[in-house]
């Protein structure tokens, strides 16, 4: 069995962070989100991995290489697109990757296919694969048992028969009409037959009908209604992604609960670099990750659920909680950052307040006593004047090349 990790999205909802870093390389609990999946696949015994990426994502290959450092074998298939609008659709992309990998000389095989921006905890991939084999399935879907029934409106849900075969798929139903609260995740197993016969036929039919083969749910509806042997494997735990500021922050918070280190014989939820300079009067609330060269001054409060990356500075009396602060950022005296993302080289000035699910972009500045309201964005290279209130988005016409040039220059 081979794995396909779908990493070719442009991450537009998480801009401006994704203007300089691929979405799947954004850290969750201290490591690139896609690395968590690669490690889970390796633990399940799947070591041959195909990464589907677009041509703006060379940083992924630069980091993982051929996979040997991570105990796997990685190959790359590049999509020659420049935006989400140019992509062949989600189903079309899966079909292209599978067929392309076969053209490159790889033997036909069964596949596990995963959306690479997923973070999942509680799904045992090894048992999922065993379940698929025992059922002699043509396909199997990992089904997340939603903790809240009201969430069904955001997902495709399925109905199982007594043998755990999927007999009905329902896309984003109303709460009162839902057939279950088993959400179809972006984690699938496909047999060789389905991958190389039924899937290409489905894509061909969609194109003949002038439809873009995009929605995964429509594909599963088609396979179920045409009597393919599609089974559902239920799991609970946690299923999140890095698709938006909110889902990224909440997923990171969950993942940081899993941090376990030993200090003076005690188990703690913190990773603090020996080169970090933390004043004795600063307060650190676990779980936290504090990297090399970070400086935290007196009376600052850091955490919980906070990751501060290399060479960033948090000045006297500032508070940073439930947040991700990238490299070389500065948080000045008495500033407050709560449930926010501060990109590298950003500067949050004295007594500024950055509120929930906001993003402060690359090399931008939030002036003294500014207030950035919930879900707002300060795009790269912008400086907010003192005493400004930002609600929504403040931006300039900036392209990714300018950010890359600035990073190389310094």
Of the candidates 139, 144, 174, 176, the residue with the CA atom closest to the CA atom of residue 158 = 144
pLDDT, residue 37, reads 97
For the chain, the straight-line distance linking the first and the last C-alpha, in angstroms and rounded, comes to 44
Q: In a 3-state reduction of DSSP, which class is residue 133?
A: helix
Partners of 227 in the beta sheet? none
Cα gap 213→160, rounded to integer Å: 25
Question: Average pLDDT by consecutive 10-residue portion of the chain (410 residues)?
Answer: 90 91 95 96 96 90 97 91 74 87 73 93 96 96 94 94 96 94 95 92 92 87 93 95 93 94 84 97 98 98 98 98 98 98 98 98 96 96 94 74 68
Q: CB-hemisphere CA count at 13 Å for 83?
A: 3
pLDDT at 400: 59
Cα 237 from Cα 59, distance rounded (Å): 31
Query: Domains in the chain and their CATH numbers?
Result: 2-250 (3.90.550.10), 267-409 (2.160.10.10)
Q: Residue 150: exposed, middle, or buried by beta-carbon count in 10 A (0-12, 13-18, 19+)?
A: exposed
pLDDT (0 to 100) of residue 101: 78
Q: What pLDDT does residue 307 have?
A: 98
Q: Which contiguous run of DSSP H or E holds residue 120?
A: strand 118-121
pLDDT value, residue 55: 86
- Spatial contact of 309 and 292, defined as CB atoms under 8 Å apart: no
CB 77 within 8 A of CB 55: no
pLDDT of residue 319: 98
Asked if residues 273 and 295 have their Cβ atoms less than 8 Å apart, the reply is no
Query: What is the bridge-based pairing of β-strands 324-325 and 73-79?
Result: unpaired
Per-residue model confidence (pLDDT) at position 104 = 62
CA–CA separation, 54 vs 212, rounded Å? 19
């Amino acid at each position: 069995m081979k794995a396909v990790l779908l990493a070719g999205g442009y991450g537009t909802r998480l801009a401006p962070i994704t203007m300089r870093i691929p979405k799947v390389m954004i850290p969750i609990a201290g490591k690139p989100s896609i690395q968590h999946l690669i490690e889970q696949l390796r633990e399940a015994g799947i070591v041959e991995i195909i990464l589907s990426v677009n041509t703006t994502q060379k940083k992924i290959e630069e980091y993982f290489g051929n996979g040997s450092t991570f105990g796997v074998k990685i190959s790359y298939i590049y999509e020659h697109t420049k935006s989400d609008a140019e992509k062949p659709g989600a189903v079309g992309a899966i079909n292209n990757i599978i067929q392309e990998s076969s053209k490159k000389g790889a033997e036909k095989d069964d596949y596990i296919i995963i959306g690479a921006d997923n973070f999942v905890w509680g799904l045992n991939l090894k048992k999922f694969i065993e379940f698929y084999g025992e059922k002699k399935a043509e396909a199997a879907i990992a089904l997340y048992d939603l903790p809240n029934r009201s969430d069904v409106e955001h997902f495709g849900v399925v109905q199982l028969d007594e043998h755990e075969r999927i007999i009905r798929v329902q896309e984003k139903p109303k709460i009162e009409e839902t057939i279950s609260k088993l959400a179809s995740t972006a984690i699938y197993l496909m047999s060789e037959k389905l991958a190389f016969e039924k899937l290409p036929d489905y894509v061909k039919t969609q194109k003949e009908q002038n439809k873009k083969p995009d929605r995964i749910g429509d594909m599963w509806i088609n396979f179920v209604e045409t009597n393919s042997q599609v089974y559902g494997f239920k799991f609970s735990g946690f299923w999140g992604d890095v698709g938006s500021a909110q889902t990224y922050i909440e997923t990171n918070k969950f993942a940081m609960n899993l941090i376990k280190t030993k200090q003076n014989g005690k188990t703690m939820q913190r990773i603090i670099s020996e080169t970090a300079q933390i004043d004795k009067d600063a307060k650190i609330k676990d779980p936290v990750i504090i990297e090399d060269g970070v400086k935290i001054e007196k009376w600052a409060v850091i955490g919980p659920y906070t990751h501060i990356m290399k060479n960033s500075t948090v000045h006297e009396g500032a508070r940073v909680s439930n947040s991700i602060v990238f490299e070389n950022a500065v948080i000045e005296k008495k500033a407050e950052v709560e449930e926010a993302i501060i990109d590298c080289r950003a500067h949050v000035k004295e007594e500024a307040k950055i509120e929930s699910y906001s993003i402060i972009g690359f090399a931008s500045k939030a002036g003294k006593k500014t207030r950035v309201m919930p879900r707002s964005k300060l795009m790269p290279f912008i400086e907010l004047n003192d005493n400004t209130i930002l609600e929504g988005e403040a931006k300039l016409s900036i392209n990714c090349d300018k950010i890359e040039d600035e990073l190389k220059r310094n």
